[in-house]
Amino acid sequence: MHEHLDALEQRMQQLQQAMRSAQLARDNNQVKQLRGELRRTQQAWDALFEQTENEEDGENTDSPDRTPRATPAEPQVLLPAREQVHQVLTLLEVPAAPKLISTVHEAFFAGTLAPSRLTSLRRDEERSYRSAPGARPYYLCPALTSDLLSPARGLLTVSTWPLQDRIVGPLSARVHFLTSALNIADAAERLAPDALPLPARQLLSRYAQNIPGAQTATPEPVLATLPTNKALLARAAQPATPDLALLRRAARDELALHAHGDTTTRTQAAARARSQLDDTALLFGGSFQSARRLRSAP
């Protein structure tokens, strides 16, 4: 919880600085949009702070010599699907599709999160926001396309992210792939190498295979000349943990080629969105009926 409070506080500072710059530039329309985003972020901070305070109060009322109810041997209580998705998106820090969210959750978090559970999640989040705007600390919302400012199909983000981070442009798919590779490598490094689960090793291997220069050249094993041994073959079929330093270096090298152009596109689209969309559309996208008009507007 506390890291989310820190992120919200940092975002409020960024918005306040942006409002001052917009005021100095006499851009009243941008000031209005930024003030609305600041208000939503403050409401999210208030709700999350109250939730954290209540949880800490509940812990303090327990007897100090009381035996903890949960032990490592007991099964963990699974979080609701929306909170599981929030955990994964916080790790990735980029918009993600349900399949990737499910894969990353399996690799680094307890329990399973089937992609089918996310089918109606975005619609539920939008209904909740429309009925009580700002009542939740965060909302899971779709990424917005940079051209039409409409919902991007199958990509989820977090409402507390900066607007430009919730927008996808022509280069964003590759930029997000490389960025998520870096963040997943960081998450894997925080675990002991011998404790890295098989799904995490498989996920890292897929990233390494799709980033030039992320793998070391290794000779093919000559399994055909070895005696048949099921245990040996099973071990050989399991991917080893890729060289995380090499993976990060290769991802950063390619990211440097695309990041500037992608950031420019998304920043320009964010400025256009603030001037054309209301608070709800800034989170969940403009209607498809108005997409053509928004695309043609300066």
Give the model's pLDDT for residue 117: 80
User: Residue 254 pLDDT more than 80?
Assistant: yes
Query: Are residues 117 and 9 located together in one domain of the fold?
Result: no
Residue 258 burial (10 A CB sphere; 0-12, 13-18, 19+): middle
DSSP state of 221: P
CA distance 273 to 42: 21
Query: How big is the CA angle at 257 (ends 255 and 262), to the nearest 5 degrees?
Result: 80
Q: What is the band of 77 on the pLDDT scale with cuts at 50, 70, 90?
A: very low
Residues 154 and 202 in one domain: yes
Q: Is residue 13 domain-resident?
A: yes
Q: Are residues 250 and 295 in the same domain?
A: yes
- pTM beyond 0.85: the answer is no
132 and 183 housed in the same domain: yes
The last residue of one of the domains, among 14, 31, 51, is 51
The answer to whether residue 65 is domain-embedded is no
Q: Is residue 119 domain-shared with residue 186, that is, in the same domain?
A: yes
Could you tell me if residue 171 is inside a domain? yes
Whether residues 19 and 107 fall in one domain: no
Whether the pLDDT of residue 297 is over 80: the answer is no
Whether 226 is covered by a domain: the verdict is: no
State pLDDT tens for residues 3-60: 666 767 777 777 777 777 777 777 777 777 677 777 777 777 777 777 666 666 555 5
Q: Are residues 185 and 265 in the same domain?
A: yes
Q: Could you give the CA distance from residue 99 to residue 183 in angstroms, rounded to a whole number?
A: 17
- Residue 217 confidence class, pLDDT cut points 50, 70, 90: low
Same-domain check for residues 141 and 269 = yes
DSSP reduced 3-state for 109: coil
- Return d(Cα 180, Cα 200) in angstroms, integer: 13
Percent helix, strand and coil across the chain, each rounded to 5?
65, 5, 30
Tens-place pLDDT, residues 145-188: 999 999 998 999 999 999 999 999 999 999 999 999 999 999 99
Domain count for the chain, please give it. 2
Residues 139 and 39 in one domain: no
- CA-CA distance, 249 to 246, in Å (whole number)? 5
Contact 98, 156 (CB under 8 A): yes
In a domain, 60, yes or no: no
119 and 170 in a single domain? The answer is yes
Please check whether residues 248 and 153 belong to one and the same domain. yes
Q: Which domain holds residue 1?
A: 1-51
Asked if residue 265 is part of any domain, the answer here is yes
With respect to residue 6, please indicate whether it lies within any of the assigned structural domains. yes
Q: Which of these, 198, 162, 208, 152, lies nearest to 38 by C-alpha position?
A: 162
Using CA atoms, how far residue 103 sits from 88, 98, 107, 191, in Å, is 10, 9, 6, 17
Average pLDDT of the residues in 92-121: 89
Query: Does one domain contain both 141 and 262?
Result: yes
pLDDT classification of 194: cutoffs 50, 70, 90: low
The one-letter amino acid code at 254 reads E
Local structure of residue 151 (DSSP, 8 states) = E
Q: For residue 231, is it within any domain?
A: no
Residues 175, 157: Cα–Cα separation, whole Å = 15
